[in-house]
Amino acid sequence: MAAVDPPTSSFSRYYFENRLNVMTSNQEDEIPEGAGILRLDSWLSPFKFDLVKRHKTAIDWIDRLERDEGGIVKFSEGYNSYGLHVLENGDIVYREWAPNAIDASIIGDFNNWNRGQYRMTKDSYGVWSITLPSNNGVPLIPHNTKIKLALTLSNGATVDRLPAWIKRVTQDLSVSPVYDAIFWNPPQMYEWKYDNVTRAQRHPLSAKIYEAHVGISTSELRVGTYNEFTRDTLPRIHKLGYNVIQLMAVMEHAYYASFGYQVTSFFAVSSRYGTPEDLKYLIDEAHKLGMTVLLDVVHSHACKNVLDGLNMFDGTDYQYFHGGPKGYHSLWDSRLFNYGKYEVLRFLLSNLRFYIDEYHFDGFRFDGVTSMLYTHHGIGTGFSGGYHEYFGDGNVEPEAMNYLILANYMLHKLDPNIITIAEDVSGMPGLCVPMELGGVGFDYRLAMAIPDMWIKLLKEVNDDDWDMGKIVFELTNRRYKEKTVAYAESHDQALVGDKTLAFWLMDKEMYTNMSDLSELTPIIDRGIALHKIIRLITHTLGGEAYLNFEGNEFGHPEWLDFPRDGNGNSFWYARRQWNVLDDQLLRYKYLNEFDSAMQHTEEKYGWLRSEPAYVSLKHEGDKMIVFERAGLLFIFNLHPTQSYADYRVGVQIPGQYRIVLDSDEKKFGGHARIDHDKSKFFTTPFAWNGRDNFLQVYIPNRVGLVLAKVD
């Protein structure tokens, strides 16, 4: 094959259809084990040995764990042996890895914090253990009481630590911001009521993800609870038509304003919102509704706290993390795991398994994957898309790469219906390709460039100058056969310092002109129209799954800002103002109704689970975009003022078409300029825009239409 320049960005389906025929039969024979991804993308051929190397590293680990631990799935059950466990006879067994400590004991309310009473023994691997005999079948440590691990360090210093595998920690802010470890052994285990709805049965063919934070899910000026979320928010999500809930800030974190991204206790769910049983009830009720529940898992870094975190746990900075500067994330002010250590792998893989087994989560959104994958952690580095950026020991962190491969392999071996999503901005090739083909094994990646595009357009470009070609390119610029979660905005765009789409569009009048009793001003009219169009075209063209952050479906007013010193510890912006949605005099209800219509229309026709769209028209002057997907015809007029009568659009499948979704309907806050009863569209067998047929439509300005063929 003649030498060609490598691509400078990840590819859309069309690139592959038109350019992928580059592999000869001899080249096919030369594909080594672990580099099967070359069949999808031959541009990776110069890096096939990198692919083979990372594949072999993972296989070697899998073989090692098979030999020494009974397999990677068994290895991930570490939470059953480490930490504190009550046996059937009431004895308590406690195991903890602290290799650099020279003495250890368990202390707490149960023994008046006596450091010398229950001393532990250490094995050759640095694991301390002890069995606390029961008192006639009654555990020595009472349920819901404080405990700690007391260590003597190699320098003779004595320190107290929260057990690394502890399942419950609480804060008493009136005493100290530091967490207390709690022995959690409720007298009655939670009884799951809806286990009969299996993960396979609720596995979404089209994932429509609702990203939510329990603490901000109340309208009141306080932290919301698991039980309130179950009672008040779950029904809203289900009614909207979302089938996946992605829960943020569940793993216990020291600082509420960190949005859950400064984790201190990895096996403890946040006590701010209630008890572990309350969270189980939330997930159980979601499963009752047939919904999949994902955990936003933070394994990319850890809080640097010492008194209630993993940092300096056994007196060294290199136990769980890399020592020195390599173990510190300068931008996040946090510690970075050493993924090459045996016990760190056990800890993290078991952490995933724990949330699957104990809380019945259905999968994970992995935070900070870009930071994990690269030695530079994405700090001060942009990605041009050149493939050289994705390979080589100087760029890629091989141990983190191996951990992500092993994590995905373990989870999907445990249950192929478990869902994993990668938060990666770099476009790493093969991220969502199975390990067997040389990939990392995620099910989906986030399309992080899409919301950036929309914000940039709204901030910097006049409506008349929006480039239809660039919009389509960004929405379709994804790797073939690697599934993508498209979204117009997530929690990142809602945070203080940025603005939600609704705020960019309408902030000047959201406090004065969102009532139906007030005049429909040009700003509000434009804002409502573009809010719907942006979401619809992102939903239908941008990926194989869709995500929305809690409240953005109805154009939530204001940004999100957690209580902190900089705002007087106010909860004013750390809540969801459901009241503006529920007030039927306000126009937020129109956006909410349209969002629901999108989800339910997709559920009926399934464009997310279909092949990527065929775009037949990107007309810069008319500001028109037309494409087909899942047998539907999508027509978007983004022109600020110009409507078109009898506009001719191409369509491949002949027949009669009807409108199944119209953003201009009155119930969506539109102007009802199209009479649906009189709108019947018949194709003409004449080639147009690369399609075999055409039909003609009336398409008003700033309107999106979805047409389906009449059976």
Task: Please write the tens of the pLDDT for every residue from 649-683.
Answer: 999 999 999 999 999 999 999 999 999 988 899 99
**Number of domains, the chain:** 2
CATH code for position 138? 2.60.40.10
- CB within 8 A of 49, min separation 6: which ones? none
Q: Is residue 678 part of a domain?
A: yes
Q: Is residue 644 part of a domain?
A: yes
Q: Is residue 702 part of a domain?
A: yes
Find tokens 């902190």 and name the residue.
564
Q: Is residue 100 part of a domain?
A: yes
- Which of 183, 204, 236 is the last residue before a domain boundary? 183
DSSP for 646-710, written as a single string:
EEEEEESS-SEEEEEEETT-GGGTS---S-GGG--EE-BSS-BTTBSEEEEEEE-TTEEEEEEE-
- Which of 160, 183, 206 is the last residue before a domain boundary? 183
* pLDDT attached to residue 9: 36
Catalytic residue among 50, 397, 423, 482: 423
- Identity (one letter) of the amino acid at 24? T
Catalytic residue among 367, 525, 595, 628: 367
Token pair belonging to 341: 């250590």
Return the closest-CA partner of residue 316 out of 12, 33, 28, 101.
101
What does pLDDT average to over the chain? 94
Q: Is residue 214 part of a domain?
A: no
Phi, psi of 609, rounded to the nearest 5 degrees: -90, 10
* pLDDT attached to residue 29: 58
* pLDDT attached to residue 4: 33
Q: Write out 302-319 in H/E/C secondary structure.
A: ECCCCCCCCCCCCCCCCC
> Could you give the CA distance from residue 238 to residue 120 in angstroms, rounded to a whole number?
50
Q: Per DSSP, which regions of 411-494 are E strands?
A: 419-422, 444-446, 484-486
Contact yes or no for 488/534 (Cβ under 8 A): yes
> Is-catalytic flag, 423?
yes
- Which of 139, 162, 183 is the last residue before a domain boundary? 183
* For the chain, percent of residues with pLDDT exceeding 90: 88
CATH code for position 677? 2.60.40.1180
The boundaries of the domain holding residue 95 are: 83-183
E strand or H helix at 414: helix 398-414
Return the closest-CA partner of residue 328 out of 377, 268, 259.
377
* pLDDT attached to residue 173: 86
Task: Please write the tens of the pLDDT for every residue from 202-240.
Answer: 999 999 999 999 999 999 999 999 999 999 999 999 999
> Could you give the CA distance from residue 265 to residue 308 in angstroms, rounded to a whole number?
8
* For the chain, percent of residues with pLDDT exceeding 70: 96
> Could you give the CA distance from residue 84 to residue 434 in angstroms, rounded to a whole number?
36
Q: Is residue 396 part of a domain?
A: no
Q: CB-hemisphere CA count at 13 Å for 494?
A: 26
Sign of the dihedral defined by the CA atoms of residues 308, 312, 315, 321, in that order: positive
Q: Is residue 205 part of a domain?
A: no
- CB within 8 A of 288, min separation 6: which ones? 193, 194, 197
Q: Is residue 96 part of a domain?
A: yes
* pLDDT attached to residue 499: 85
> Could you give the CA distance from residue 533 to residue 642 in angstroms, rounded to a whole number?
16
Q: Which residue ranges in the chain fall short of pLDDT 50?
A: 1-26
Contact yes or no for 251/268 (Cβ under 8 A): yes
